[in-house]
Structure 1
C-alpha cells in the first residue's frame, strides 16, 4: 500500500520554558504522513511539497527520511525557504503565529506533470484545505485537475488567514470535495464557515459533492461516519484533559488511513483514530516520537 500526502511542512517553534523555544518540523499534511507511517506495518508513505536549497530545508528532508517518509518527489526552489510558525498555548489550546509568505511550498503545484508522477500508482492521495490555501488560484486548479479520478482523501482544515475572504475559501474547499472520495471535515469549523446546523448537515454537504466515505469529526464528541451508504453515530468514549491539542486532527487522519489500509472498516478505523488523537493531545507539539506512538498503541 502506498499513501501520498501533499502539502506544506514548516519549521515549528514551541515553548520549552521561559523565553525558550524548541524547533522542529511539522505541518498538517506532514503530521498526517508521520502518524500514518508510524502506525502502518507495511507499505510506504511519501510526501509531496517544495522546499528550498538552504540548510533548514536539508534538515527537514533528513528528518522526513529518518521517519521513513519518502522524499523522492519533493522538489527544490532556488530562492524560497520553508515557512515557520510559533505555537502559543493557553489551557491546552493553541494559537499560532505564522511566517510563510515566502514559503517554498507555495510552489508545490508549479509543475503539474511532476505532481502527476508523484501520485502515480498511489493507493491513497491526501491533501487538505491548507494545501489549497498556500497556492494561487491557477495552481489550485492545476492540482485538482491532476487528482481527478484518483482515490483522494481530503480534510478541509479551514484556515481563513490563508485566504483573501471566506467566500473564496469555501468555494475552493468544495472544489476539492468534488474530486475526493474520502472527506474528513471537523464540524465546528464547518459550522463556523458554512453555517451547518448540525453534524448531519456537514456530512450531507460532502456526500452531495461526491464523497462516499465521510467522517465528521467533532472535537472529541460524537462523530458521524458514512460508509457503503449507511450513516453510523460513533461515540469516541471518555474525554481527555489536553496538554496541547496541536496535531490532534492530523493524527486522527493518519491513524484512520493506516487502519483502513490494514483492512478495518470506516467505523472501527474512526474509533482507532480517535484513540490516537486522544494520546497525542497529552503530549506537547504536533509530533509524538514514532517509537512512542507504536509503544502506546501496542499497550
Structure 2
C-alpha cells in the first residue's frame, strides 16, 4: 500500500487566454476566449497525483479574494487533503496564461499568497510533512520555504526545479529525483558550479549525477524524458523514455501532469524508469485538452485515451 505524498507548493487561479498568435511588444491583438481555471505548480501536481490514485496532501496558501475558491476547486474535486492550507490576508496567486493556435503558451505569474509560504509557514506543518513517504517541491514559493520542507522530510524528496531558484546545493543534491527540463538542467548545473562534458541531453543528465544529485528525470518535450540514476558500482545509467505521439492543443501544465504522475507511480512502488514511462503517457494526455488541471487524467481513463494517436507498435508496449 502506498504512503502519503505531500506537495509543498503554489496554488493559483489561471486566467487562460486563447488567441491566434502571441502579440509582439507594443502590439494589441484580439483574443478568442478567456477562462478562469485552477492552477499553480503545487496544486497542479497534487491534483495529478491524487487523480492517479496517490494519497495526497497539499501545504500551500490562498488569499481571501474571489479567486481563492476557483484556485481550490480542482484540489477539492480530486480529494486532496487540504489540512495544510493557510489563508493569509491578501490576494490569491494568479497566472496569466496565453495559448496560441499551436498550443504554445506564455505565462506570467503573480505570487500573491504563495509569497507567504516561507520557513515559518512551512514549519507550521512539520508533522504533516514529516509523515510523508514522498515530499514533492517546486520553485514557486520562497526559497526558505522550499529548504524548510526538504529539511523536515523524513521520506523521499522530489524537487521539480521550476522555475529555477537559487537553493542550498545540498537540497538539490538530495533530490530523488530532480525533475527538470533542458533549460532548467543547464541552470541547475550552473548553480552547482559544474560544467558538463557536452551540451547533448545525456551530457546534462550525467553532469547532474556527477555533481552528486541522487537521480534525475529530464523532460525533453514531445521527445519524452531521460532518466539518470547512479549505479551500484558508482557509475551512472541514462535511459531514454519516449513520449506517445499526440496532437497538442495546449501545453499548459503538462510538465506538472508529468511530475504528479511520476510521484503517483513512485508512491505505489514503481522504479524510476517505469514511473517515468507512466508519467510520459500522462503528460501526453494532458496536452490534448485546454488548461492545466481540467486536462489531467484519472486512472479510469488514462490508458485508453492516451492510446489514441500513438503509433501501433508503441501502443502495444503500454
Report how far residue 82 of structure 1 moved.
0.7
Matched, 1:184 2:179: yes
**Pair 236,139 (structure 1): closer, same or farther in 2 beyond 3 Å:** closer
CA distance in 2, matches of 1:73, 1:237: 34
Is the CA contact 1:57–1:82 (under 8 Å) kept in the aligned structure 2? yes
Report how far residue 9 of structure 1 moved.
0.8
Q: 1:194-217 CA distances to partner (integer Å, 9 max, x unpaired)?
A: 475222333234324543332121
CA distance in 1, matches of 2:92, 2:223: 35
CA distance in 2, matches of 1:95, 1:210: 33
Report how far residue 97 of structure 1 moved.
2.9
Q: Would you identify which runs of 4 or more consecutive aligned residues in structure 1 move more than 4 Å? A: 16-19, 137-141
CA distance in 2, matches of 1:6, 1:57: 17
Q: Name the structure 2 match of 1:60.
A: 71
CA distance in 1, matches of 2:64, 2:48: 26
**Pair 59,27 (structure 1): closer, same or farther in 2 beyond 3 Å:** closer
Report how far residue 117 of structure 1 moved.
2.0
Is the CA contact 1:124–1:151 (under 8 Å) kept in the aligned structure 2? yes
Matched, 1:9 2:20: no
Matched, 1:284 2:293: no
Q: Name the structure 1 match of 2:95.
A: 85
CA distance in 2, matches of 1:142, 1:256: 23
Matched, 1:152 2:161: no
| Long gaps (5+) in structure 2 | 20-30, 305-318
How many positions carry a matched residue from both structures? 278
Is the CA contact 2:214–2:229 (under 8 Å) kept in the aligned structure 1? yes
Q: Name the structure 2 match of 1:164.
A: none
- What is the correspondence of 1:1-299 to structure 2 with a 5 Å cutoff? 1-15=3-17, 18=31, 20-40=33-53, 43-77=54-88, 79-90=89-100, 91-100=102-111, 103-109=112-118, 110-131=120-141, 135=142, 138-147=144-153, 150-158=155-163, 169=165, 171-172=166-167, 174-191=169-186, 194=190, 197-221=199-223, 223-227=225-229, 229=231, 231-288=237-294, 293-299=298-304
**Pairwise CA RMSD:** 2.6
SS at structure 1 position matched to 2:222: coil
Larger Rg computed on CA atoms = 2
Q: Name the structure 2 match of 1:166.
A: none
Report how far residue 143 of structure 1 moved.
4.1
**Pair 210,150 (structure 1): closer, same or farther in 2 beyond 3 Å:** farther
Is the CA contact 2:13–2:70 (under 8 Å) kept in the aligned structure 1? no
**Pair 52,216 (structure 1): closer, same or farther in 2 beyond 3 Å:** same
- TM-score normalised by length of structure 2: 0.77
| Long gaps (5+) in structure 1 | 160-168
**Pair 150,263 (structure 1): closer, same or farther in 2 beyond 3 Å:** closer
Report how far residue 126 of structure 1 moved.
0.3
Is the CA contact 1:249–1:277 (under 8 Å) kept in the aligned structure 2? yes
Q: 1:237-269 CA distances to partner (integer Å, 9 max, x unpaired)?
A: 553331111111111111112122223222122
Is the CA contact 1:225–1:267 (under 8 Å) kept in the aligned structure 2? yes
- TM-score normalised by length of structure 1: 0.82
Is the CA contact 1:244–1:285 (under 8 Å) kept in the aligned structure 2? yes
SS at structure 2 position matched to 1:272: helix
**Pair 155,75 (structure 1): closer, same or farther in 2 beyond 3 Å:** same
Q: 1:22-47 CA distances to partner (integer Å, 9 max, x unpaired)?
A: 1111011211111111111xx51001
